[in-house]
Amino acid sequence: MKHVFIVGGTHGNEWTGITIVNHLQHRILKSPKLNLEFVHANPKAFEINKRFVDIDLNRVFAPVHQNQNLKAYEYTRAQELIGKFNEKPDGFIIDIHTTTGNMGATLILSQDELWHKQLALFVSQKLPDVKVIFAIDHSKKYVATQLTHGAIIEVGPCSSSVNNPIVIDQTIELCNVILEFIASEAKPQGSFEYYIEKEEIHYPLVDGKLAAMVHPKLQNKEFIPLKKGDPLFYHFDGRTQSFEGDKVYYPIFINEAAYYHYNIAMVMCEKHRMTV
């Protein structure tokens, strides 16, 4: 029997995963081939209804592996989760997230072994509207990369601290297709489109303070090609700043609320096609 960790609440104000883990387990695919373990990753952050208590849990696993001695709740919690996952080293992790960005239903893969490519193809065949992103995590900082096989579900737009029933339905649908793939041991053949993260775009600052916002013509335009000369930022003094890149990029996480903490306005991707 395959062991699958279904993780919600890595970020305490993303309620979709928490609600699925705590209340909607009956809507998750059951199979005699699967043993499902539901994990509430960051309960203290949920108690205070914040993304994290001290430090982003979905970034802290790398310092744990590097044996850094951080005085943070999430550092200790990451150690606990690593211990839990390592009890089933051949298991699978599905980490559930939401975003304020207009991402739709998205599958993010932070490893690129054949299993992950076959999963991406399987999902693309079953749910053609789902976007696939490869965001390779060499430092193992994410929850989903703590075992050999893992996947991240990211659905939006969804406001923080909200149970959006449409987003919950999309999340459960994608989760169940991933579980179907794991249970069936499918080895699909074919090709699929995917995006790969290339560059973070930061907000303009003046004297360390925000000086612009995402241009209104770019807002909500995730996965739409952005070309040189297209509007990028609207400065508070009235100027429009255009995109100056020489390549065509596909922006994601545009104006993501949680990324203001890092001064990230969006993430640029390239689009590719892969044959498995």
Q: What is the pLDDT of residues 136-167, one digit of tens each?
A: 999 999 999 999 999 999 999 999 999 999 99
156 with 264, same domain: the answer is no
The Cα 66–Cα 78 span in angstroms is 13
CA atoms within 13 A on the CB side of 267: 19
| Number of domains making up the chain | 2
75 with 212, same domain: the answer is no
Peptide bond into 157 cis (omega under 30): yes
Backbone angles phi, psi at 110, to 5 degrees: -105, 5
72: its two tokens: 């943070």
State the pLDDT at residue 49: 98
6 with 52, same domain: the answer is yes
**What pLDDT band is residue 79 in, cutting at 50, 70 and 90?**
very high
Domain boundary among 163, 189, 215: 189
140 with 262, same domain: the answer is no
**What pLDDT band is residue 98 in, cutting at 50, 70 and 90?**
very high
Domain boundary among 132, 156, 189: 189
Domain boundary among 170, 189, 208: 189
The Cα 272–Cα 195 span in angstroms is 6
The Cα 181–Cα 247 span in angstroms is 35
Tens digit of each residue's pLDDT (9 = 90 or more) over 165-186: 999 999 999 999 999 999 999 9
Q: Are strands 92-98 and 2-8 parallel, antiparallel or unpaired?
A: parallel
162 with 206, same domain: the answer is no
234 with 266, same domain: the answer is yes
The Cα 46–Cα 28 span in angstroms is 22
94 with 210, same domain: the answer is no
Boundaries of domain holding 256: 196-275
Tens digit of each residue's pLDDT (9 = 90 or more) over 5-47: 999 999 999 999 999 999 999 999 999 999 999 999 999 999 9
Q: What is residue 149's three-state secondary structure? A: strand
pTM, rounded to two decimals: 0.96
Peptide bond into 204 cis (omega under 30): no
CA pseudo-torsion sign 207, 213, 218, 223? positive
121 with 172, same domain: the answer is yes
Residue in the structure block whose two tokens are 């996965």: 223
